[in-house]
Amino acid sequence: MTPTPLSVSTPESTSGDATPIRLGTRASALATTQSGLVARRLEELTGRPVELVHIKTEGDVKTGSLASLGGTGVFVTALREALLDGRCDVAVHSLKDLPTTPEPGLTFVTPEREDPRDALCARDGLTLATLPHGGRVGTGSPRRAAQIRAARPDLDVVDIRGNVGTRLDRALGPDADLDAVVLAYAGLSRLGRTDVISEVLDVDVVAPAPGQGALAVEVRTADIVSDPATGRAPAPDLAEAIHLLDHRPTRLAVLAERSVLARLEAGCAAPVGAHATVSGAVLRLRSVVAAVDGSEQMSRGGEASLSQDVAPEALDAAARTLGVAVAENLLADGAERLAPLSATVPEKA
């Protein structure tokens, strides 16, 4: 495939290096908006121009339900290949699209997270509680569908695909055939479309996808970490910028959430929700596993203390340990009976 470069801006270089940083992104409006936010920040931190390089992923090319695509990497594999073969220097993903297994040779950081909750976009300003009996609600996410069914068993949950605009039109457009659709608040906020939200869904009603609302800014590890074996030194301006992009509270929260998913061996759109927060020196996590038909769901939680006197690696380990512990509690109490935890269906914004 041939990537298409798109210049974001060309500021005066303050680092003495005017070589553009090539940032790989999917071409959708949401992806380019998210990548544009990262591009502008990289320009500020490095003084170098950034070019967006459009990469088509399998999820952009294939049609049909998300369940039929069968792989958590469907939206990220092509971007990672472009990084590894040198067609781009940085890639931006929605973190919830990333498989939980690390990719050899690549490292990602997490900028500060947007609101991770889901949003109901309904005709006439309706809420989940006021949608009519038998109302039709669209979503491409098994996690959202299961929890919506648990909250309102009388609703008809319809599987839909498409970009944000296409999905909104299904409920709010002139030819609408649905009463509502459910999307991530973060994506609507970044697109400047929060006006279409009729209700932001409480995390106790619809728990978000692990990592929802967060971005992953991914680079080749060799570009930011010295390799004693080869003597290769990283690019200092890019290495420092990537370090500064990482937001520690976001990193710890999403590490805990994704550790639940990894221990459950579930795909990123299995009916599993997780929500972690950092408040002071305490990391709190709650996770939900739901039956696909919404007939039953199970919730478990926990917390961990975050000492300020330990190395960042120890804080990361504490977050992972918390996630694994919550997942172990879910498994011990029969979570596998409720849901197909081996599902690997990708989730849309």
Name which of 119-123, 184-188, 235-239 the model is least confident about.
235-239
Among residues of the chain, what percentage have pLDDT more than 90? 78
pLDDT of residue 265: 87
Sorting pLDDT into bands at 50, 70 and 90, what band is 142?
very high
0.85 surpassed by pTM: yes
Q: Is 97 in the active site? A: yes
pLDDT of residue 14: 44
pLDDT in tens, 245-255: 999 999 999 99
What is the residue whose two structure tokens read 């303050």? 14
| Upper half-sphere CA count for residue 279 (Cβ side, 13 Å) | 5
pLDDT of residue 36: 97
| Spatial CB neighbours of 103, under 8 Å, sequence gap ≥ 6 | 80, 218
Mean pLDDT of 191-214: 97
Distance separating alpha carbons of residues 68 and 319, to the nearest angstrom? 33
Q: Give yes or no for a contact between 8 and 36, defined as CB atoms under 8 angstroms apart.
A: yes
Sorting pLDDT into bands at 50, 70 and 90, what band is 118?
very high
- Is the confidence at residue 203, as pLDDT, over 60? yes
Q: Between the CA of residue 46 and those of 24, 49, 315, what are the distances in Å?
A: 17, 8, 28
Angle (deg, nearest 10), helices 29-46 and 236-245:
120
Of residues 236 and 315, more confidently modeled? 315
Sorting pLDDT into bands at 50, 70 and 90, what band is 9?
very low
pLDDT of residue 270: 80
Distance separating alpha carbons of residues 44 and 309, to the nearest angstrom? 31
Distance separating alpha carbons of residues 138 and 36, to the nearest angstrom? 28
pLDDT in tens, 297-338: 999 999 999 988 889 999 999 999 999 999 999 999 999 888
pLDDT of residue 7: 39
Q: Give yes or no for a contact between 241 and 45, defined as CB atoms under 8 angstroms apart.
A: yes
Q: Give yes or no for a contact between 276 and 116, defined as CB atoms under 8 angstroms apart.
A: no
What is the residue whose two structure tokens read 């090539």? 22
Q: Between the CA of residue 133 and those of 172, 180, 255, 297, what are the distances in Å?
A: 19, 13, 39, 22
pLDDT in tens, 42-94: 999 999 999 999 998 765 554 454 444 445 566 899 999 999 999 999 999 99
pLDDT of residue 54: 95
Catalytic residue among 17, 85, 89, 97: 97
pLDDT of residue 348: 47
